[in-house]
Structure 1
Amino acid sequence: MAIKDAFNGQSGDQLSFTNDQCSFHSQWQWPAMWDNLQLGQVKWLYENLYHPICLRTLRTYLKKQKNRVMRKVKPRVRLLQKTLPDSGGAKVTCLATGFYPRHINLTLLRDGQPVSDHQITGGELLPNGDETYQMRKNLEVSTEELQKHLFTCTAEHLSLDNKIHINIGITSHVIYTNLKVV
């Protein structure tokens, strides 16, 4: 708990209190007796009023919102390929959307090895309007590289029992996509 006191635009007292220790810092000149009295009062208020009320309030909100907070929504994972007309190459995009909670491990692989972060664009976690999240990772490659390598998008998330793997590759200009749960 931290208490800050100010008056007329000037900082005054600053009090920090944890279960282990209590410290008081004042920019004003208070008598030592006042400091000790105030520390004792604050410790009593913290232990008997603020801490119990805070915990009770948090438990009440968690109980009311438990289904919303503890829910798990599986991601929809796709691996997309788009031809870039300017360079003649392609953009490979690994996309996961519609998942909750927010933490996801999304990886773009080339022939089973992770693509280095400096080659990837994107990767930011973005909110959707329905309280779920999305993330995308992009990689620009040449047509030759696209034909020589197998690209895989993997996703790990709390809502999934296993990793999701999606492969995309080109052989004789035929695109194949394979979805499997490992």
Structure 2
Amino acid sequence: MNFVILCVSRPEVYSSVKASGSLGQQVLVCLATGFYPKHAQMEIRRDQTPLPDEQLNSHGIRPNTDRSFQLMKSLQILPSDRSHLSVCGEQSGWGWKDHSNSKEK
């Protein structure tokens, strides 16, 4: 009989800004990865106000090969918006807040 032990794990959170195809715009990409269990939420905030999901691009929560999960969200921004944005989230009762200066990936 094979047993798999899965432990609750906090996400690693990364954010980066990439060039966009649109003139003068960039894409803010936020990734939370390595969390378990699956239930997690992520918000991108402008001046502490959550942006509606309709303004964000996401493919939802996806599995990783190690049975943990990841969630990626992105947003087209102007370079001047960067200092007003932050990333916040929650997973299984653990909050992770203000990752605007997270590890660059």
- TM-score of the superposition, structure 2-length normalised? 0.81
Q: Point out where structure 1 has 5 or more consecutive residues left out of the alignment.
A: 1-63, 168-176
1:81 shift after superposition = 1.0
Superposition RMSD in Å: 2.5
Aligned residues: 103
Which of the pair has the greater relative contact order for Cα pairs under 8 Å at 6+ separation? 2
Distance of 1:113 and 1:159 partners within structure 2: 21
Distance of 1:130 and 1:112 partners within structure 2: 33
Larger radius of gyration: 1
Moved over 3 A (4+): 64-67
Q: Point out where structure 2 has 5 or more consecutive residues left out of the alignment.
A: none
Distance of 1:106 and 1:100 partners within structure 2: 14
1:115 shift after superposition = 0.8
3-state secondary structure, aligned to 1:166: coil
Distance of 1:84 and 1:110 partners within structure 2: 19
Distance of 1:178 and 1:131 partners within structure 2: 24
Percent pairwise identity: 25
Bigger helix share: 1
Q: Does 1:104 align with 2:37?
A: no
3-state secondary structure, aligned to 2:60: coil
Whether the 8 Å contact between 1:79 and 1:152 is mirrored in structure 2 is no
- TM-score of the superposition, structure 1-length normalised? 0.50
